[in-house]
Structure 1
């Protein structure tokens, strides 16, 4: 199966694109929407039946591994960097009902940043991820947060520090990350290890519970 990020870029590349940044972004968004509809059809879902959560952060922080572990797959120590976007979905029983959760793992490399707004659309919540052993991945969160706010507004979000199994290599400390989460109104800060499958579920469950409670408030 062709990766959705690759498919979106290929569709955009093969479509005449007018000059100008805005026109090019629109073409990429159109291509992504086509790809998204195709993906939903393949897994037998419709837009209204899926709770979409996007994972955002720098490349190599472990977004793919977190999505895999939460969706019941095995951790792969040789995981490759995401090209564009990857999808993972799982069904969980929460809030008295079964819900289908679609995790959108958005590639963190700068070359995929143009695609990110299209991939973010329709997200009910966001998981921001950084690597506690790489300070630059924490500093890059501001760029992702700004992008998310521009596309989605104030959707519920959590902050995740991955690679908690590497405490001896830590350069971003818990109190700093907790303050960041508080400052920007996130639901909390969670330290996890995709490798050890330590506390991976916690941030997702907290986020999903808030999204569902918000849905009920609007009902």
Structure 2
């Protein structure tokens, strides 16, 4: 199964560190504003999943940034929105990203991630605010430290994949009487001659 994931957040949140930690299990602390698309395969619940991860900085300042945001929102199957627990502005930006995605893609799976949990002494965004944002938008919420732990970052990925499964289940509509008759006819090989 191929899955496209957009990892978004402002430059200061460590989202690239989160992506690289996920892909390599290593922490690399310094990144520029580099836009990259990574491909990687994972086994989740015994199924092989090929991920395409679009990792780029988010900027509200330019029209080019708005165009890029629209392309990412349309391209992705799921979203990892990252803010720094030490940066109130990054949290506010993630709130706007959630609203943009919800208005464009409805119930698409979103995971809200508070990064830099290892910097508790510099915390500007309480955990409860992140949870409330995620809850109000129907998203999953995680707080991690890309610097300290690979497993927390992996839990984010699993949470997003679980959200995608849930979205697929809820998007399937019941067949209704007409659909059931068609399905039964297909199974038993008879053509339906009556009409409703």
TM-score normalised by the chain length of structure 1:
0.70
- 1:102 maps to which residue? 52
Larger CA deviation: 111-120 vs 130-139: 111-120
Alignment pair present for 1:184 and 2:134: no
CA distance in 1, matches of 2:66, 2:149: 29
How far residue 87 of structure 1 moved from its aligned partner, in angstroms, is 1.2
1:99 Cα deviation (Å)? 0.8
Using the TM superposition, give the Cα deviation of residue 109 of structure 1 relative to its aligned residue in structure 2, in angstroms: 2.6
CA contact (8 A) 1:60 1:108 kept: no
- Shift, 1:213, TM fit: 4.5
* Displacement after TM superposition at 1:89 (Å): 2.1
- 1:193 pairs with 2:135: no
Which secondary structure state, in structure 2, belongs to the residue aligned with residue 200 of structure 1? helix
Report the 3-state secondary structure (helix = DSSP H, G, I; strand = E; otherwise coil) of the residue aligned with 1:129: strand
Distance in 1, matches of 2:56 and 2:2, equals 17
Matches within 5 A, 1:159-170: 159-170=112-123
Matched, 1:155 2:155: no
- TM-score, normalised to structure 2, is 0.77
Which residue of structure 2 lines up, in the alignment, with residue 11 of structure 1? none
CA contact (8 A) 2:110 2:163 kept: no
Distance 2:93 2:135 in 1: 17
Aligned to 2:38: 88
Structure 1 residue ranges without an equivalent (≥5)? 1-48
Q: How far off is 1:53 after superposition? A: 1.1
Matched-pair contact (CA < 8 Å) for 1:55–1:103: yes
Aligned with residue 76 of structure 2, among 119, 123, 140: 123
**Relative contact order, higher structure (CA 8 A, sep 6+):** 2
In the alignment, the residues of structure 1 paired with residue 130 and residue 36 of structure 2 have an alpha-carbon distance, to the nearest angstrom, of: 26
Partners of 2:166 and 2:91 in 1: how far apart?
Answer: 29
**Residue 13 of structure 2 aligns with which residue?**
61
SS of the residue corresponding to residue 178 of structure 1 reads helix
Larger Rg: 2
**Alignment gaps of 5+ in structure 2:** 174-196
Q: How far apart are residue 74 of structure 1 and its match?
A: 3.0
CA distance in 1, matches of 2:45, 2:55: 24
Superposed CA RMSD: 2.0
